[in-house]
Amino acid sequence: MHAMKKILVANRGEIALRIMRTIRKMGIRSVAVYSEADRRSPHVLYADEAVCLGPAPSAQSYLDGDKIIAFCKELGVDGIHPGYGFLSENADFAQKVKDAGITFIGPGPDAMRIMGSKLAAKECVKHYDIPMVPGIDEAIEDVQLAKQIAGKVGYPILIKASAGGGGKGMRIVEKEADLSEQMERAISEAKAAFGDGSVFIEKYVSSPRHVEIQVLADHFGNAIHLFERECSIQRRHQKVVEESPSAILTPELRKRMGEAAVMVAKSCNYTSTGTVEFLMDDKLNFYFLEMNTRLQVEHPVTEMITGIDLVEEQIRIARGEKLRYTQDDLRINGHAIELRVYAEDPLNNFLPSVGTLERYVKPEGEGVRVDDGYEQGMTIPIYYDPMIAKLAVHGMNRTDALQKMLQAIRDYQIEGVATTLPFGTFVFEHEAFISGHFDTHFVKNFYTPELLKEQQKALASLAAMAALKFLLDDRQVLRPVDIRSTSWKRRLAH
Ligand code: MV4
């Protein structure tokens, strides 16, 4: 068992605050780090101690791993929680933390390194019975060989960068004539972006769904899954809506995917929380894509349907405890949906909308959870991710959760910056989303600013009619008095 009396959270915003809440709940002291742009942020005010890392740009603050480790030594910190983004998937940082005698609250550096490379990940899991997209699992440079392989798997194919992420370095090739040009481009792009020109080939799954499985593993070889998250509603590889459970998984399919995810975790001796990503085609075939070795942005939907605090489990695992649950202990309770509220304008190509939160009032209610890191009056810094908050709701079933979500969006008051809240209403009122028949092309296929404008007009006129009805009803309240008075007069007249 490792002593865990003080934890430094190497992150900012909503996730830093969310992690510190669990740290406090567990009776542990918290240390915040902050940049000069975040001096007065809620995560800084909430922490038991706080240290300034430097100027606003991430490279001089939240990405300065050596400085963070130095502060840990100075302050007697036992563990570092990296959150998501920044240093969270940096295997070299995790190694340095370990070498400094501090506990990294996450997987070991070896598992991080393997899963950080798509080719190493494929290599690692290939001895297990895990479905993968047809293709090759080795870096390829030779165009002739590429043509052979592409011919075998069949066009269209996808060229992917091994070091890539978030769709960077991916190229679709429709026919053999385009292959050599696209391959050269993919290699030079990958070299420029990641310093690693390794690319490989996969069959292109044309309209996939993105379904991921949450896993949890301890240092004793125990690994379980916490069901799926459906994350297909995304825009340019940026997720906007996530839900659990998925509307289309059967219990049997869920079990098979869960077991595959657990095998992926076991293949690299994974510890802590992790997410195994799968693509799912229109026939419900699923394929292992990659593993994310961090706590994910969308973890609240899993917490809501399982009742498990994932950060607490991470800390318990990091300090050497055994998993407290077996697979049979876990059940899906109800349905949860999350909307990421970005300071982006859905009417203007989702351009970041910088400014000050002139008005900021959160929705409340049973089954409504808002994870945020800002307060009314604060300015959204331009240096970091423009996410203001995550709005998550939990209902007894999908319909109930959807209704709660629509009400929570109506109750959420944000003025001063444009947000993706109205875009959320668009998604949650869309037939494709309601029916559950959607894929990763939802936004591209169904969304236009014009449609959103029309919807907003319709909502505005509904609101006007409601106001008018309210006014008229109000007058009706007075009318019975008139009637009574006239009938009284009439009675007098008799
Ligand atoms: C694919 C694919 C289709 N076929 N692989 C995008 C980012 C990276 N994580 C993997 N991605 C994809 N890989 C094959 N063989 C389509 C995507 C993809 C995608 C995946 C998940 C969520 C959103 C996506 C949006 C566009 C493309």
Q: What's the token pair of residue 459?
A: 């909502």
Q: How many CB atoms lie within 10 A of CB 245?
A: 21
Q: What's the token pair of residue 235?
A: 């825009």
pLDDT at 350: 97
Residue 129 domain flag: no
- 460 band by pLDDT with thresholds 50, 70 and 90: confident
Ligand 1 and 278: CB distance under 6 A: no
pLDDT at 264: 98
Of 178, 203, 228, the residue at which a domain comes to its end is 203
CA dihedral 249, 252, 253, 254 (to 10 degrees): 70
Measured in whole angstroms, the distance separating CA 200 from the mean position of its chain's CA atoms is 26
CA of 40 to the centre of ligand 1 (A): 38
Q: Are residues 313 and 192 in the same domain?
A: no
Residue 123 domain flag: no
CA of 288 to the centre of ligand 1 (A): 11
Distance CA 38, CA 13 (A): 9
Residue 114 domain flag: no
Q: Which atom of ligand 1 is nearest to the CA of 164?
A: 8
pLDDT in tens, 192-229: 888 888 899 999 999 999 999 999 999 999 999 999 99
Residue 111 domain flag: no
Mean pLDDT of 21-41: 98
- 480 band by pLDDT with thresholds 50, 70 and 90: low
Ligand 1 and 158: CB distance under 6 A: yes
Q: Which atom of ligand 1 is nearest to the CA of 287?
A: 15
pLDDT at 320: 98
Question: 166 versus 468: which is more confidently predicted?
Answer: 468
Ligand 1 and 208: CB distance under 6 A: yes
Among 131, 119, 209, smallest CA distance to 164 is for: 119
pLDDT in tens, 102-158: 999 999 999 999 999 999 999 999 999 999 999 998 999 888 999 999 999 999 999
Q: How many CB atoms lie within 10 A of CB 94?
A: 26
Question: What is the domain count for the chain?
Answer: 4
- H-type alpha helices, 195-309: 251-267, 299-306
pLDDT in tens, 353-388: 989 999 999 999 999 999 999 999 999 999 999 999
Indicate whether 474 pLDDT > 80.
no
Q: Are residues 320 and 301 in the same domain?
A: yes
pLDDT at 477: 64
CA dihedral 281, 84, 22, 7 (to 10 degrees): 150
Q: Which atom of ligand 1 is nearest to the CA of 277?
A: 9
Please name the residue whose Cα sits nearest to atom 10 of ligand 1.
167
Q: Are residues 330 and 409 in the same domain?
A: yes
Q: Are residues 180 and 297 in the same domain?
A: no
- What is the residue whose two structure tokens read 């009439």? 490
Catalytic (active site) residue 29:
no
Ligand 1 and 443: CB distance under 6 A: no
pLDDT at 481: 52
Q: Are residues 339 and 315 in the same domain?
A: yes
The CATH number linked to 447 is 3.30.470.20
Q: Are residues 342 and 388 in the same domain?
A: yes
Among 155, 162, 210, name the best residue to mutate to test ligand 1's pocket (greatest count of ligand atoms within 8 A of Cβ).
Answer: 210
Ligand 1 and 425: CB distance under 6 A: no
Residue 487 domain flag: yes
Mean of the per-residue pLDDT values of the chain: 94
Among 71-85, 262-276, 467-481, the least confident range: 467-481
CA of 258 to the centre of ligand 1 (A): 20
Q: How many CB atoms lie within 10 A of CB 43?
A: 24
- 296 band by pLDDT with thresholds 50, 70 and 90: very high
Strand 29-35 to strand 6-9: parallel, antiparallel, or no bridges (unpaired)? parallel
Residue 126 domain flag: no
Q: Are residues 469 and 430 in the same domain?
A: no
Ligand 1 and 205: CB distance under 6 A: yes
DSSP string, 79-116: EEE--SSTTTT-HHHHHHHHHTT-EESSS-HHHHHHHH
CA of 410 to the centre of ligand 1 (A): 32
Distance CA 359, CA 252 (A): 47
User: Which residues span the domain enclosing 477?
Assistant: 460-494
Spot the catalytic one: 29, 209, 254, 294. 294
Please name the residue whose Cα sits nearest to atom 6 of ligand 1.
167
Distance CA 260, CA 213 (A): 9
- What is the residue whose two structure tokens read 């106001």? 467
CA of 203 to the centre of ligand 1 (A): 11
pLDDT in tens, 171-186: 999 999 999 999 999 9
Indicate whether 491 pLDDT > 50.
no
pLDDT at 393: 99
User: CB–CB of 179/143 below 8 Å?
Assistant: yes
pLDDT at 428: 98
Ligand 1 and 234: CB distance under 6 A: yes
The H or E element containing residue 166 is: none
Distance CA 181, CA 163 (A): 20
Among 149, 440, 445, name the best residue to mutate to test ligand 1's pocket (greatest count of ligand atoms within 8 A of Cβ).
Answer: 440
Of 176, 203, 230, the residue at which a domain comes to its end is 203
CA angle (83, 85, 87) in 5-degree steps: 80
- The pTM score is 0.93
Of 203, 238, 259, the residue at which a domain comes to its end is 203
Q: Are residues 237 and 306 in the same domain?
A: yes
- 478 band by pLDDT with thresholds 50, 70 and 90: low
pLDDT at 259: 98
Q: Are residues 180 and 222 in the same domain?
A: no
pLDDT at 479: 57
Q: Are residues 160 and 219 in the same domain?
A: no
pLDDT in tens, 6-20: 999 999 999 999 999
Mean pLDDT of 445-467: 90
Q: What's the token pair of residue 271?
A: 């510890």
- 459 band by pLDDT with thresholds 50, 70 and 90: confident
Among 207, 223, 376, smallest CA distance to 291 is for: 223
Indicate the residue type of 141.
Answer: E
What length does the chain have?
494
CA of 210 to the centre of ligand 1 (A): 8
CA of 394 to the centre of ligand 1 (A): 28
- 167 band by pLDDT with thresholds 50, 70 and 90: confident
Residue 127 domain flag: no
The CATH number linked to 167 is 3.30.1490.20
* DSSP summary character for residue 137: S
Ligand 1 and 121: CB distance under 6 A: no
Mean pLDDT of 431-450: 97
Q: Are residues 234 and 196 in the same domain?
A: no
Q: Which atom of ligand 1 is nearest to the CA of 204?
A: 4
CA of 24 to the centre of ligand 1 (A): 38
Among 212, 237, 442, name the best residue to mutate to test ligand 1's pocket (greatest count of ligand atoms within 8 A of Cβ).
Answer: 237
pLDDT at 492: 45
Sign, CA torsion 396/400/401/404: negative
Strand 49-54 to strand 272-280: parallel, antiparallel, or no bridges (unpaired)? unpaired
Instruction: Please tell me whether residue 340 adopts helix, strand or coil conformation.
Output: strand
Ligand 1 and 96: CB distance under 6 A: no
pLDDT in tens, 387-400: 999 999 999 999 99
Among 158, 203, 280, 292, name the best residue to mutate to test ligand 1's pocket (greatest count of ligand atoms within 8 A of Cβ).
Answer: 158
Among 228, 234, 279, name the best residue to mutate to test ligand 1's pocket (greatest count of ligand atoms within 8 A of Cβ).
Answer: 279
CA of 167 to the centre of ligand 1 (A): 7
Indicate whether 1 pLDDT > 80.
no
Q: Are residues 198 and 307 in the same domain?
A: no
pLDDT at 399: 98
Residue 64 domain flag: yes
